[in-house]
A and B are shown apart, each in its own frame.
Chain A
Amino acid sequence: DGGITQSPKYLFRKEGQNVTLSCEQNLNHDAMYWYRQDPGQGLRLIYYSQIVNDFQKGDIAEGYSVSREKKESFPLTVTSAQKNPTAFYLCASAGTRGSEAFFGQGTRLTVV
């Protein structure tokens, strides 16, 4: 089935640790996005990529890093520089401008 797969569903991070969230799509979409959702709030853009080997910072990129080595994959690393990483992270992909974005099921990250 075509879609976006995020893993893991739940992730626990210790203070000072880097963790990587996986996002894979088989929709042949060029554009991929990472959003962060905090309780009771909307989605805020962390990073986006319009094409392989290119990505741009979104509104809240500090403390995060990404790579786009393959069209299908857009992993997000939450670094120790992110002071408040506990949140729900959503990955999305989209085709042409104006087409709807497809979302993964999300990863809930908790700092312990």
Chain B
Amino acid sequence: AQKVTQAQTEISVVEKEDVTLDCVYETRDTTYYLFWYKQPPSGELVFLIRRNSFDEQNEISGRYSWNFQKSTSSFNFTITASQVVDSAVYFCALQGARGDTGRRALTFGSGTRLQVQP
């Protein structure tokens, strides 16, 4: 069974603060993919990043960075110098790579609501 846990339900920060969103996952697959999505108030999910289980390099994209650690089954997301436009719900998701076609669907965490105050 696959599971994604986002223990932080809601985080509130003041603009320009750094913030880290935690994601812990469980899977029996040796090959799998991890994702982060952003859900602004409009509701549509916006893709942010994909990582496969063989690539543990951290990634930085502008103010966003991701820390993937297989040893702790974590895939954390950091926003540096947060801005009001970063306010949204952020979801971590997992996709297995074994034969069961059902698990090609993404398994989502419950999401973390980020509020960035001006």
Contact = CB atoms under 8 A, between A and B. Distances in A.
A98 B97 contact: yes
Contacts, number: 65
A101 B42 CA distance: 18
Interface size class of B (residues with CB under 8 A): 20 to 34
Interface residues of A, number: 28
Contacts of A58: 102, 105
A103 B44 contact: yes
Contact of B95 (A43, A56, A98, A103): A98
Interface string B69-113: 000000000000000000000010001010001101111111100
Interface of B: 4, 6, 9, 33, 35, 37, 42-45, 47, 50, 52, 91, 95, 97, 101-102, 104-111
18 contacts: A33-B106, A40-B9, A42-B4, A43-B108, A45-B105, A88-B43, A92-B106, A97-B95, A98-B33, A98-B52, A98-B97, A100-B47, A103-B37, A103-B45, A105-B42, A105-B44, A106-B44, A108-B43
